[in-house]
Structures are given as structure tokens and as C-alpha cells.
Homo-oligomer: A and B are copies of this chain.
Amino acid sequence: MTDYGRFWSQRAKDLPKNPFVELLPLMKDPSAKVLCQGVPPDTTFPMQSIALTLVDGTSVTLTSEETRLAQRYPPFAWGPLREWLLKHIKQIHCPPVGLDWDVAIAAGSMSSVDLVCAAFIDRGDIVLIESFSFTASLDAFRSYGARLEPIPLDNEGMLPDALEAACLRLQANGQRAKFLYTIPVGQNPTGSTLSAERYDRIYQIARRFDLLIIEDDAYFYQQHRVRKLNAESDSGHAVKRQKLTSQDFDSTLPGLQLGISFLRLDTDGRVLRLDSFSKCLAPGFRLGWVSGARPLVAKYNALAYASSQNGCSLSMMLLGKMLETWGDEGLERHFLKLQSQLRDRCNALVKAAEDHLGELATWQRPEAGMFLWVEMKKAPRDREHLLQEMRNNGIAVLPGESCLSAPTSEQSCRYLRLSFVLPDEHYPEAMKRLATIMSCM
């Protein structure tokens, strides 16, 4: 098993033990007199009951007791959602039998990334990361003083050979990364999805160089184009091919059949998986979860005690009740709706791009997520030039510069991240405007 000692940051080491942990058994004993809590009397809580009407017609009502819990501190409110998550993770990821794993509720995925930084990063620590990555994660890592080692990726995700080479290069310098941060599915910003074979190879590299893997799988439920499985491989997103054509994809949507994850492979306990309700239900709940080896999740909870407190009780109770009311069937129906909308909108954006940007830029159609990553044939002079042109032409896309793990002047401005969350009818006009911009570069 993994020895975690070398991974913890100074902050994680210096955090005193939450004194309420040792009081908890007494606090739960109904015969005890509990005078240690700093919560206003329950009798002053303002809410009596809460009723939700869902878009699909389902009604969800919190009883007065559930409403009371929704107004208390998170440890009293997260029970139902935690139970649901334990079952869900087992069903979806089948963590290895030998892995002693746990789950913690998170105040959104960004808060998870923040607590990952808090747990592991001291200034100067090395983090391995896809050479294009999620802006806010990059910003968080940089603010914590991490040194980012970019690993190239293609349409099937991070390149294992490049990862291995980077680890060897570090080793030759007497250095070692703390963790690999990866967005394996519907990667932000490139839209790439890691092939099944690469999961295996990357996990083996993590073992060899003793790395943690932070698996940020925020777009896991947004898979909207499923690669066909062949006889050699039946456990994951994809078979290895030189070039995928439309014949390699299934016409059905995955629903809850979502394929592989690093957590599924994690015999060592070196994976901390970050999931989010933001991208598969709604960002406004500000809830996600982290799962993995118990010591990693315990440290997460310890740090959450002195910061996010694991998120909002009100959201936890409402979401817990909603998921319970839906059952797997309702959840799958919801995911199919999401996946089908994203597939259609992706098709509409790609079609409009083909119609208007064909000579001006290149891209790969993503299989998951919400983003199309576009490389312009001619780059703008600089970021301000690009922004000015966007203002002049009435279109907003994310300058790819914000997604570079190691910005270099040469390549920094030639990329754009386009999202396809708007209805179909917007894309022809949007791509026309983008073509105008690209033509005058």
C-alpha cells in the first residue's frame, strides 16, 4: 500500500485535530447532556418545510425533520446523500476489493481542487498536468506555488510515453512530482477522452514513480459519443486505434454505462477522485464528492472542517431526497437527456464550424464534455488583440491562452475554447463572427 507521509503539505501536517471528533460519540448518545455545540436553538430555525417540483413532474418534499437537518451543520445533514454516494460509487466504479475506500461530500469541485492543493502542495512542489488544462485549477495550483510539468495529450488523452519521460527527467534531476492531476473524460479544454489502454499504462507509471493521481472527472457523466468495443477490450471508453471514424462510434448514448476510471484500477490507494454535481445536475447546488483511499479522504475532511465544511446542508438534503426519489431509473433518464442534448449541440457546433471555419482552423470532435478546442491557422498578435476582435464582433469564447499549463509566446494565442451549451440555432451566426475574426488576424 501507499505510504502517504511524503505527500502531505506542511499545512496538512500542521492542522490540529478537530476537537469535535472525540466528542462525537458523546454527542450522539441520547442519554448525554450535550453542551458543546455552537448552533442556535433548533426552535429558532426559520424553515418548516421545503417542496421541490422537478421539470420531469416529480415532487420532492422535505418533512419538518428533514428540513430541520437541512438547517443544521453539514455533519448532521449529509447522511442520506453520503449513503447514496457509497452505493453509486460501488456500482459505477467497482473499486478493487482490497481497497479501503471512503467518500466525502465536497462544496463543489473547485473547492475540492482547493483542498487538494491544501493537502499536498508546498511552494515549489511539482505537479504533473495535461499541457492544456482547466483554467481555475491551473490558477489554484499556481497560487499555491506549484511548479507545473506539462504532459502533452492528443484526442485519446494524455500520452503515457510523455508522462514516463517527464518522470524520468525529474528523476535524473533528483526530483519527484507529488501528483498527477488529470481530467480524463471530456477534458477541459481539449475535449479529449482517455482511452482504456492509457488508463492502465498511466496507473502503472504512477506506481513506478510513486505518484498520487488526482482524477478530476467533472465531465464523466457528460459522455455523448460512445466508442464501440472490440473483442480485445471490454472494460472502457475506447479501443486503441490509429484514427477513429464515425464507424467506430455507437449510435446509443451511455446513460449510466460510463466505463473505466482510475478509481477502478486503484489497488494501491493512490487515487483521489473528484466528482461534481455541477456538470451533471446543476452548478447551483455547489456540491461534489471526493472518493478514494480512506487516509486521503480523511485528510480531505480534516481540511474541510477548517474551510468549506463540505458544502451546504440545504443542498445536501434536497439533492439526497431528489436522488432517492428518482432512483437509478430517474437518474439514468436525466443523464440520457443531458447526453443527448450535448450530443446534438456538439453536432450543431461542429457542423457550423465546418461550414465557416474550414479553411481557418482545425479541431477534433469531442466524445464527452462541453468544449470544442480550436486551433487557428493564424494566431492573433496577442490576447488583447483577440479580446478586442471579440468585442468588435459580438462573440465571447475563452482565449486558449488561459488553459496553457506552460504558456509560451509562440503558441499561447492560437487556441480557442468554444462551448456548445447554447441551443443549436446560435452556432451558424457565432461561427460566421468567428470566421470574420480569424480572417483578419
Contact = CB atoms under 8 A, between A and B. Distances in A.
Interface string A126-152: 000000000110111011110000000
Nearest to A338: B44
Interface string A378-401: 000000000100110011111100
Interface residues of A, number: 118
A314 B315 contact: yes
B419 A286 contact: no
A418 B35 contact: yes
B314 A45 contact: no
A264 B349 CA distance: 53
Given A35-B397, A398-B36, A55 B48 contact: yes
Contacts of A11: 143-145
B136 A74 contact: no
A107 B16 contact: no
B46 A55 contact: yes
Given A26-B396, A143-B14, A285-B71, A308 B306 contact: no
A313 interface: yes
A286 B107 contact: yes
Contact of A286 (B29, B49, B309, B399): B309
A43 interface: yes
B142 A15 contact: yes
Given A32-B394, A34-B422, A39-B283, A308 B308 contact: yes
Contacts of A38: 188, 279, 370-371, 419, 421
Interface in A389-427: 390-391, 394-399, 402, 417-423, 426
Q: Is the interface of A mostly helix, strand, loop or mixed?
A: mixed
A31 interface: yes
Interface in A2-57: 10-12, 14-16, 18-19, 22-23, 25-27, 29, 31-41, 43-56
A22 B283 CA distance: 21
A355 interface: no
A396 B286 contact: no
A111 interface: yes
A306 B55 contact: no
Contacts of A39: 278, 283, 370, 421
A263 interface: no
Interface string A296-319: 000000010111110111110110
The list of the 8 closest CB pairs from A to B, nearest first, reads A284-B313, A71-B282, A114-B307, A33-B430, A312-B312, A15-B143, A26-B396, A71-B284
